[in-house]
């Protein structure tokens, strides 16, 4: 059995921005769990396209990342404001069903521009998710549980400042993969 001498961060860089789903799953499964304590902070997000219906949706919509202030105080969706700065978006107001049924329309540049323009209307000042440890794919790991959506983001640790997230969405057999990189204070 060959020993992989590359660090997990080097392996992640090989998967970004596009990877075969089976390769992404194998890498995810090889990573250690993330703890709730290590999640605290603001994180910049990225995507790994694996053929999931949500691939290519977040970036054009202005998604920035996530903020974890405590286990019960989480902003699951941070977006760039049209004129600078960040705003927390309310996931309950996101048209998830429409996006899943009409992904090409959702990814169209006009749709993305309309969504970015509507970000101030989707803003919230309240936490919209929480962190708990859950079992997923054979490990107990830090999981962000959305308050009003049937979605859990389960994190694995690439290193102290890099996470690989698997968005487990009810009704979708495979996860959507994304990365989080810690912002330095």
pLDDT in tens, the chain (185 residues): 455 679 999 999 999 999 999 999 999 999 999 999 999 999 999 999 999 999 988 888 889 999 999 999 999 999 988 778 899 999 988 877 777 788 788 888 888 888 888 888 888 999 999 999 999 999 999 999 999 999 999 999 999 999 999 999 998 999 999 999 999 87
- Separation in Å, CA 185 to CA 61, 65, 104, 179: 25, 15, 37, 19
Partners of 66 in the β-ladder: 43
Q: Is the whole model's pTM more than 0.75, yes or no?
A: yes
What is the signed CA dihedral for 127, 129, 131, 134, rounded to 10 degrees?
Answer: 170
Q: How far is it, in rounded angstroms, from Cα 158 to Cα 138?
A: 17
Number of H helices, E strands in the chain: 6, 9
């Amino acid at each position: 059995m060959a020993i992989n001498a590359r660090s997990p961060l080097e392996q992640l860089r090989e998967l970004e921005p596009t990877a075969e789903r089976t390769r992404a799953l194998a890498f995810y499964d090889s990573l250690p769990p993330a703890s709730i304590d290590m999640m605290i902070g603001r994180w910049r997000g990225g995507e790994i396209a694996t053929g999931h219906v949500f691939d290519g949706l977040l970036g054009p919509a202005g998604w920035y990342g996530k903020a974890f202030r405590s286990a019960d105080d989480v902003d699951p969706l941070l977006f760039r404001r049209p004129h600078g700065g960040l705003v927390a978006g309310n996931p309950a107001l996101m048209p998830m069903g429409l996006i899943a049924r009409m992904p090409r329309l959702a990814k169209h540049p006009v749709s993305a521009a309309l969504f970015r323009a509507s970000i101030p209307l989707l803003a919230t000042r309240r936490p919209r998710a929480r962190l708990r440890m859950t079992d997923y794919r054979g490990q107990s790991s830090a999981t962000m549980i959305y308050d009003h959506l049937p979605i859990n983001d389960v994190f694995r640790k690439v290193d102290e400042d890099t996470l690989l997230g698997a968005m487990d969405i009810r009704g979708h057999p495979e996860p959507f993969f994304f990365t989080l990189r810690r912002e330095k204070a």
